[in-house]
Amino acid sequence: DAKTTQPTSMDCAEGRAANLPCNHSTISGNEYVYWYRQIHSQGPQYIIHGLKNNETNEMASLIITEDRKSSTLILPHATLRDTAVYYCIAGNKLVFGAGTILRVKS
Amino acid sequence: DTGVSQNPRHKITKRGQNVTFRCDPISEHNRLYWYRQTLGQGPEFLTYFQNEAQLEKSRLLSDRFSAERPKGSFSTLEIQRTEQGDSAMYLCASSLAWWGGTDTQYFGPGTRLTVL
């Protein structure tokens, strides 16, 4: 499983797009990129995953670079309830790092 | 479709006691995972089952820990002779996975264990 690097924390204004970057330069060709988030004292929540193509669902969009060495999770209109720790995982086994603390501010 | 449920949600015990946690996965999910999470850290993998077979155990899973999934549905995690270092959130996740495909895991709310 590839190691991932994420910023420790980010701030975002309510109603604006939140763009969370992740580097996974050692990802293998058959390894997926998964994003989860964890709101304080709750279990992690699945957001989205992808292999090569960009993906979108009702929660977010996932943009994966052509070389697959990095990706960006986009929350199109962040709300206060999106404040959480966001984990980027590259691999076919969930190995959680420290994640990015996203604070959405009014 | 109900999500993953875990019971109890909170458990306080004294050092040296045994505790058992239960996880009910999403119906028809064939894989079930256990993780442990301490304060300020991401979840750490403990073990997982494919149906009733326990296929992998982390070295974090000492011999005081045992997990079962007897009929391939719910699972239990038992900790014997608890220690203060066992205090953590214990998370369960389930997935519907096939070899070579994706394995999207859905997590329960966790059981918070406090060992006094």
Q: Transcribe A10-69 into DSSP letters.
A: EEEETTS-EEEEEE-TT--TT--EEEEEE-TTS--EEEEEESSS-EE-SS-EEEE-TTSS
Q: What's the pLDDT at B52? A: 93
**Which one of A34, A41, A44 has the shortest CB-CB distance to B107?**
A44
Q: Could B104 and A93 be called an inter-chain contact, meaning their C-beta atoms sit closer than 8 Å?
A: no
Phi and psi of A12, rounded to 5°?
-145, 140
Look at residue A40 in the predicted model and tell me its pLDDT. Answer: 87
* Nearest chain A CA: its distance from B93 CA (Å): 9
Mean pLDDT of A18-30: 93
Residue linked to tokens 């994966």: A64
B-chain residues near A92 (CB < 8 A): 102-103
pLDDT digits (tens, 9 = 90+) for A45-95: 999 999 998 999 999 999 999 999 999 999 999 999 999 999 999 987 888
- From B92, which residue of chain A is nearest by alpha-carbon distance? A43
| Partner residue opposite A94 with nearest CB, options B105, B108, B110 | B105
**pLDDT computed for residue B60 by the predictor:** 85
Tens digits of residue pLDDT in B46-104? 999 999 999 999 998 899 999 999 988 999 999 999 999 999 999 999 999 876 677 89
How many other β-carbons are positioned within 10 Å of the β-carbon of residue B87? 16
User: Least CB-CB distance to A44: which of B43, B103, B112?
Assistant: B43
Task: Compute the distance between CA of residue B103 and CA of residue B98 in angstroms, rounded to an integer.
Answer: 8
pLDDT at B100: 66
Pick from B39, B55, B41: nearest CA to B95: B55
A69 touches chain B (CB under 8 A): no
